């Protein structure tokens, strides 16, 4: 029997890829494939995907204009004539019509007759999710940095508008209050959807005391408080963010239910006495060395048998690949810190930092959030 060596496999794979790419790039093959009935459908679908890849920025900016002008909100109140819309958004009728038509092509608006327009199905869905709307507005910073993607890649990440937005955390809470407020607001607006998926997927009722590390404005803690009445709750974040969380909890009547710890998790020890520690959308914000330091700090704070729950979007998520390495990869690069990791990479880091075992807990919408639970 002839054994195949790993080198042979590699050669076969590389040769197959080179052959496939030569064929797909060949204009003669492309002409044939679009005319041949059995391949025509595939070619059309691939062409559409390719077009979306190339033109995606115009789609994003169409949504950005709708959000900035409050167009979706306006149409949510009911259909309007174009002159009325133009007057309300303060854009000439021609420009308004161009935008309405672009938005209709993206399913955000819908034409009713020659002059009247309504909210489209995806426009309604977008409006119902405050997190996405905040994210669209926030993308102004990301896209300013991405105007020169090669420059951004060459300078090693950060250094632009998004990084400035994030400075308060890098300087451990010394950034100005406006930065803290803007960032925390964005996180808080996008949190409810994430929180619901996490709470629907994992049984928090089996624990006695939970500490949410990097808890932001305590939105996640508040969502857990509402669904798991007997769980004692604490959160840890930078002091300036902790102060905002305290105010939000007081306003929600939860001032006594949640204990808040202010500190820097890369320098200060985490408080002990919790059988569950959660890291929600925190680990991917950090490069490998600080992420490992954070996991070690969590390990040190947990009792033997204690649980760490990591929840965030992950790279390599089947069906949501672009949101990991393409979106979060570039977002976090522009931010100047962190990277999206695959579930396997996170589990490897957990082993390196002493966690005996870990498992993936399925969620309903992995694009938004995935969960790994580890035992100390």
Ligand X SMILES: C[S@@+](CC[C@H](N)C(=O)[O-])C[C@H]1O[C@@H](n2cnc3c(N)ncnc32)[C@H](O)[C@@H]1O
Q: Which residues bind ligand X (CB under 6 A)?
A: 169, 172, 187, 191, 214-216, 219-220, 237-238, 241, 264-266, 280-282, 285
| Residue 113 per-residue DSSP state | S
Q: How far is CA 312 from CA 106, 136, 155, 324, 339, in A?
A: 28, 19, 27, 10, 12
The token pair that represents 197 in the structure block: 């998926």
The token pair that represents 84 in the structure block: 């009325």
User: In angstroms, what is the minimal distance from the CB of 142 to ligand X?
Assistant: 14
| CA of residue 53 relative to chain centroid, distance | 19
Q: Count Cβ neighbours within 10 Å for each residue of 91-129 and write b for 16 or more, e otherwise.
A: beeeebbebbebbbebebbbbeeeeebbbbebbbebbee
Distance between CA atoms of residues 147 and 149, nearest Å: 6
The token pair that represents 87 in the structure block: 């007057």
Query: Between 99 and 248, whose beta carbon lies closer to ligand X?
Result: 248
Task: Report the alpha-carbon angle 116-117-119, nearest 5.
Answer: 155
Query: Between 120 and 214, whose beta carbon lies closer to ligand X?
Result: 214
User: In angstroms, what is the minimal distance from the CB of 240 to ligand X?
Assistant: 8
User: In angstroms, what is the minimal distance from the CB of 269 to ligand X?
Assistant: 12
Query: Between 79 and 290, whose beta carbon lies closer to ligand X?
Result: 290
Cβ(258)–Cβ(235) under 8 Å? yes
Query: Between 112 and 266, whose beta carbon lies closer to ligand X?
Result: 266
The token pair that represents 206 in the structure block: 């089996």
Query: Between 107 and 167, whose beta carbon lies closer to ligand X?
Result: 167
User: In angstroms, what is the minimal distance from the CB of 328 to ligand X?
Assistant: 11
User: In angstroms, what is the minimal distance from the CB of 327 to ligand X?
Assistant: 14
User: In angstroms, what is the minimal distance from the CB of 245 to ligand X?
Assistant: 9
User: In angstroms, what is the minimal distance from the CB of 356 to ligand X?
Assistant: 25
CB neighbour class for 307 (10 Å; exposed up to 12, middle 13-18, buried from 19): buried
User: In angstroms, what is the minimal distance from the CB of 214 to ligand X?
Assistant: 3
Residue 337 CB contacts under 8 Å (≥ 6 apart), including other chains: 157, 158, 166, 170, 285, 286, 287
Query: Between 118 and 254, whose beta carbon lies closer to ligand X?
Result: 254
User: In angstroms, what is the minimal distance from the CB of 181 to ligand X?
Assistant: 12
Name residue, tokens 């993206």: 106
**342: phi then psi, degrees, rounded to nearest 5:** -75, 165
Query: Between 248 and 280, whose beta carbon lies closer to ligand X?
Result: 280
Query: Between 62 and 323, whose beta carbon lies closer to ligand X?
Result: 323
User: Whats the size of the chain, residue-wise?
Assistant: 376
Distance between CA atoms of residues 320 and 343, nearest Å: 13
Distance between CA atoms of residues 287 and 374, nearest Å: 20
Query: Between 172 and 232, whose beta carbon lies closer to ligand X?
Result: 172
């Amino acid at each position: 029997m002839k054994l195949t060596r790993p080198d042979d496999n590699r050669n076969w794979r590389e040769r197959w890829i080179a052959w496939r790419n030569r064929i797909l790039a060949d204009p003669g093959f492309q002409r044939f494939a679009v005319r041949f009935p059995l391949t025509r459908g595939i070619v059309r679908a691939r062409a559409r995907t390719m077009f979306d890849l190339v033109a995606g920025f115009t789609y994003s900016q169409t949504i950005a204009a709708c959000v900035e002008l409050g167009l979706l909100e306006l149409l949510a109140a009911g259909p309007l004539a174009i002159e009325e819309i133009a007057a309300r958004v303060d854009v000439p009728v021609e420009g308004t019509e161009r935008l309405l038509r672009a938005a209709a092509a993206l399913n955000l608006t819908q034409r009713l007759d020659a002059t009247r327009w309504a909210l489209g199905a995806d426009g309604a869905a977008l409006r119902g999710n405050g997190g996405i709307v905040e994210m669209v507005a926030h993308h102004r910073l990301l896209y300013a940095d991405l105007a020169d993607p090669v420059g951004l890649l060459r300078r090693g990440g950060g250094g632009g508008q998004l990084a400035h937005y994030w400075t308060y955390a890098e300087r451990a809470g010394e950034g100005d209050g406006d930065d803290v407020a803007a960032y925390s607001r964005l996180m808080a607006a996008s949190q409810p959807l994430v929180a619901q998926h996490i709470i629907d997927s994992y049984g928090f009722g089996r624990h006695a005391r939970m500490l949410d590390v990097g808890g932001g404005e305590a939105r996640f803690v508040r969502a857990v408080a509402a669904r798991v009445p007997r769980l004692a709750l604490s959160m840890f974040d930078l002091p300036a963010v902790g102060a905002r969380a305290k105010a939000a909890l007081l306003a929600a009547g939860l001032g006594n239910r949640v204990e808040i710890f202010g500190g820097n998790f890369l320098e200060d020890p985490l408080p002990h006495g919790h059988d569950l520690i959660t890291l929600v959308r925190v680990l991917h914000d950090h490069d490998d060395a600080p992420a490992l330091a954070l996991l070690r700090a969590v390990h040190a704070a947990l009792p033997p048998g204690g649980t760490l729950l990591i929840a965030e979007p992950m790279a390599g998520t089947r069906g949501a690949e672009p949101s990991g390495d393409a979106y979060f990869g570039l977002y976090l690069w522009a931010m100047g810190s962190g990277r999206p990791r695959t579930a396997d990479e996170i589990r490897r880091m957990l082993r390196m930092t002493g966690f005996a075992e870990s498992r993936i807990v399925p969620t309903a919408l992995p694009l938004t959030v995935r969960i790994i639970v580890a035992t100390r």
